[in-house]
Every structure is written in structure tokens, then in C-alpha cells.
Amino acid sequence: MASWVLKGLRTGIRTTTYPDRPETAAGVTPGRPQGTRLGDDDAADLVARCPTGAIAQQDGGVAVDLARCVHCQRCLRDDAGTVVPWEATYEWASVADDKAAMRRLERAFGRSLHIRFVDAGACGACVSEARQLNNPYYNMHRLGLFMTPTPRNADVLLVSGPVSDAMRLPLQKAYEAMPTPKRVVAIGACAVFGGVFGPSFAAAGGAAEIVPVDVVVPGCPPPPLAILHGLLLAVERRPAVPTLSSPPQAGGGRS
């Protein structure tokens, strides 16, 4: 056993300093597209290339609805035509559509959270990225965030997947079993809008179809830091970011 202790000590501390300081290591995020100014023909071409309808023509360019992006990278590959710039950010979480959700977020909790994860038909990548939060690089315990085996002890329901038919009821029951106040954080394009799967005969097309969603974390899958941002947003330790990336104004600034 002593050899394991030594091994652990020799490995040293690998944990990110996020959210105190930004994480700059390569590969922590796939990045995502940004709205940009373009001619009409190029803009129309990009709109046609985007398979999920995330890109739309707007104000002399294209705007990106980041909630719908599944990182297919077709707007990034230059052999297909014009490209849009990608930005290597990882703070992707946003408050769900309506203002009512905002009110519910007001300081319902202290700084710490107990989280119950429900896989409602996720492909495994979101599950894997959420699991990374416990690895030494992200170590969410240091932030007072804990997984709990039962929804009865949970403050936050972390949901991934488009909500497959057989997971509707377990998801609903898990939500109902949680004590109030409670929040739902939907992670991944599938849980946000159904992703490439739904809605269909087999999937509801997003967690909001079944339970009231407070925070959405877009991405396919969202990297661990984006999920962490979503959890920190649920306790208002980090601000939300908008899910729409508009083309910059002619003057240079963003609308």
C-alpha cells in the first residue's frame, strides 16, 4: 500500500484552478462557432451546411444558436467553403429560456450542492464528461459539489439525453422525489433540444418536455468545465453566458 501512497504523492497536484483563474491547458474544450459578418452567398451556404439549424442569416452575416450546435465542425472545415471562427471557450451554461427560471435561481442554496445524475438516453459522451468532474483534474469536491446516490438528498438534478421513452417516468419520479428548493441542469444538446435524435417516436426531445429546466449547458458533449460552469451557475457563483452568438456590429462591438 505504501507504494500507492508514494505514487499519489509523486504525481503532485494536477487540479485546475477554475473558477478562480481561467484554465488554459490545450484540449479542455472542443471550442464552438461564433457569429460572424459574411456576404449573403457565403452566409446562405453556411446555413445549408449546418445539419441542426444552429446557423441563421442575421445582420449582414450569420448568427449561431449555440444551444443547437452539435460540434459536427462542418462550418469549420474549409474544404467545404466559407468557415466561421471558432472560439476555445468553455463557459457555456445559460439560464433556461424564461425569466421565471431566473427568479427561481435567486440564492436558493448556499454554496454547496448535492447532485443526482440521471441518464435519460445519453450517448455516453455526456455521461463520460460528467464523470470526469470527479477526476483529479477537475475534482468538483473542492468546490463543495457532491454526487448523491438518491434524489431524496439532491439539490440539483443533472440530466443528459433526449429523454427516451422508457426514461420519462424514472426522470419524473426522480424530480418529484427531490426536496424543495430544487433545480434541474440539462447537459448536452440532446437534453437541451433533443440533439440529433429527437423529438421522435422514441424520444421526448429534451429534458424540458418532462421536468422544468433551470440551467442549460449546450454542447455535444459539453466538456467537464462547461458542466462545472452550469453547476456553479445554479448556485450563482458564475454568471450565465448567452446561447446566441450574433455577428459583430459594423463598428466592431457585439450586439
101, 186 contact by CB (below 8 A): no
Stretch that binds other proteins, among 6-14, 96-104, 105-113, 232-240 (CB under 8 A): 6-14
> Which of 101, 127, 241, 244 touches other proteins by CB under 8 A?
127
**Which residue's CB is nearer to other proteins, number 161 or number 218?**
161
The reply on whether position 100 binds other proteins by CB under 8 A is no
- Dihedral sign for Cα 99, 100, 106, 109, please: negative
The reply on whether position 199 binds other proteins by CB under 8 A is yes
Using CB under 8 A as the binding rule, the residues of this chain from 37 to 56 that contact other proteins are 51
Q: Strand 113-119 to strand 94-95: parallel, antiparallel, or no bridges (unpaired)?
A: unpaired
Which cell numbers in the block locate residue 229?
460552469
- Dihedral sign for Cα 175, 178, 180, 184, please: negative
> Which of 33, 35, 205, 247 touches other proteins by CB under 8 A?
205
Stretch that binds other proteins, among 60-68, 94-102, 125-133, 228-236 (CB under 8 A): 125-133
Q: What is the DSSP letter of 254?
A: B
174, 201 contact by CB (below 8 A): no
Using CB under 8 A as the binding rule, the residues of this chain from 130 to 169 that contact other proteins are 130-132, 134-137, 147, 149, 151, 161-162, 164-169
Considering only CA atoms, which of 38, 191, 53, 63 is closest in space to residue 127? 191
CA gap 140, 134 in Å, rounded: 6
**Which residue's CB is nearer to other proteins, number 35 or number 151?**
151
**Which residue's CB is nearer to other proteins, number 40 or number 165?**
165
> Which of 44, 48, 102, 202 touches other proteins by CB under 8 A?
202
- Dihedral sign for Cα 102, 108, 110, 114, please: negative
> Which of 125, 153, 241, 246 touches other proteins by CB under 8 A?
125
